[in-house]
Structure 1
Amino acid sequence: MGTAHHRRKRPAEIRRALLDNAMQIAVDQGLGAVTVQAVAAASGVTKGGLLHHFPSKQALIDAVFLDLLDRFSEDLEERMRDDPVAPGRMTRAYLSSVLDLGADGGPTAALSILMLADAPLRQRWADWTEALVSRHRATDDSVDLTLVRLAADGIWLSDLGAVPVPQREKLLARLQSMASGTHEGG
């Protein structure tokens, strides 16, 4: 009996490569360029190999979105753990996370692209955001803090299109002061 060639299986590594390559293609070329063939080729697997992990392009896109959302959530949690001041903690973490990652062309940009292009993903984002705000209602439920989060979203979206934000540093300083409760009118 001959010895068959056995390829070492690395399902977790292959799945990670598929997610990362799909995300990068979405950032670099747009969501329309995320095809089964393109992601499989970029990941060094066959289309069948991709379909083994994700039964359809939509399943892949959904998985990329959930992976990015998990990464974003982990970043927020880490930032909140590092902030000793409870009032506004979640909003400050959200602001710094969005603004640190928004213009890098990486995970946060991919999250934006996926949300903007897919109505069910926008709904998942809205549900995730509402759950986040609900969990932190005791420390982050004010008009000023809501305004800070919405402004952060606006800056994030303007970064996505590489639109320069006038007075970005002043805006950031103002939003940080609002989230710290040190905002003075004007």
Structure 2
Amino acid sequence: MSEVSPPSPYQRRKQPEQVRRALLDCAAQIAAEDGAAALTIQAVADRAGVTKGGLLHHFDSKQALLAAVFADLLERLDREIDTSIEKDPRAEGRFTRAYVRACFSDRLMGERSLWAALSVAIVSEPALRILWSSWLDQRMAQHAETDSDPVLTAVRLSADGIWLADMMEKTGGLRRYPQDFEMVLLEMAG
């Protein structure tokens, strides 16, 4: 009978979910700090402390990594919106008010916001636009009874417009559309 030796302290146990999470977090940090253009396979691998091959085991391309970061961001947005919905006692327009709050929640972070960092990628990457459209279609179907009013649609589009203006103007957006504009949209949403 042969003896089984204990693992060497230099051998790591494979923990694919932890590695995947670290890669997503590192990619998000790079995008928030330096913009989506700085998000390269090598930069993320270096930041996460894995090999380029290790990263490619989880995400087979930069586009796949970017899509995963964006999907992760949408999951966080879902949680933020759901938390806001749970606290809102009025059903009519509840999703719209939560959406507005989410759109304004990290505006003061400016270019350090992950949403700001991924904004250009959303516009230029068809796969990300599809993810966004699918997410929005699903949420609108889920809240059709309470948020189909045209005024609520106009409020959501206004929040989107401010988000787009922030993306285009970077530093001037807060001057042109102050943070308290959130209250105006919330009042319009009831």
> What TM-score bracket applies, with the shorter chain setting the length?
0.7 to 0.9
Instruction: List per-residue Cα deviations over 1:5-56 (Å, max 9, x = no partner).
Output: 3113332222112111212222332322211111101111111111121122
Q: Which residue of 1 aligns with 2:23?
A: 18
Q: Which residue of 2 aligns with 1:184?
A: none
Cα RMSD (Å): 2.1
- Counterpart secondary structure, 1:168: coil
TM-superposed CA distance for 1:140, in Å, is 0.7
TM-superposed CA distance for 1:144, in Å, is 1.2
Q: How many residues align?
A: 180
Distance in 2, matches of 1:89 and 1:68, equals 21
Structure 1's 158 and 24: CA in aligned 2 closer, same or farther, altered over 3 A?
Answer: farther
Q: Which residue of 1 aligns with 2:86?
A: 81
Q: Which residue of 2 aligns with 1:100?
A: 105
The answer as to 2:132 corresponding to 1:122 is no
The answer as to 2:47 corresponding to 1:42 is yes
Instruction: List per-residue Cα deviations over 1:94-145 (Å, max 9, x = no partner).
Output: 0001101234223333442431231221122122112211211111111211
Instruction: List per-residue Cα deviations over 1:145-184 (Å, max 9, x = no partner).
Output: 111111111222333323333252452222111011xxxx
Structure 1: runs of 5+ lacking an equivalent = 181-186
- Counterpart secondary structure, 1:162: coil
Contact 1:102 1:108 in 2 (8 A): no
Contact 1:25 1:34 in 2 (8 A): yes
The equivalences for 1:152-163 within 5 A come to 152-160=159-167, 161-163=170-172
Structure 1's 167 and 72: CA in aligned 2 closer, same or farther, altered over 3 A?
Answer: closer
Which runs of 4 or more aligned residues in structure 1 lie more than 3 Å from their structure 2 counterparts after TM superposition?
Answer: 1-5
Whichever residue aligns with residue 149 of structure 1, its letter is R
Identity among equivalent pairs (%):
44
Distance in 2, matches of 1:33 and 1:106, equals 15
TM-score (norm 2): 0.84
Structure 2: runs of 5+ lacking an equivalent = none
Instruction: List per-residue Cα deviations over 1:70-92 (Å, max 9, x = no partner).
Output: 11111111110111100010000
Distance in 1, matches of 2:87 and 2:46, equals 40
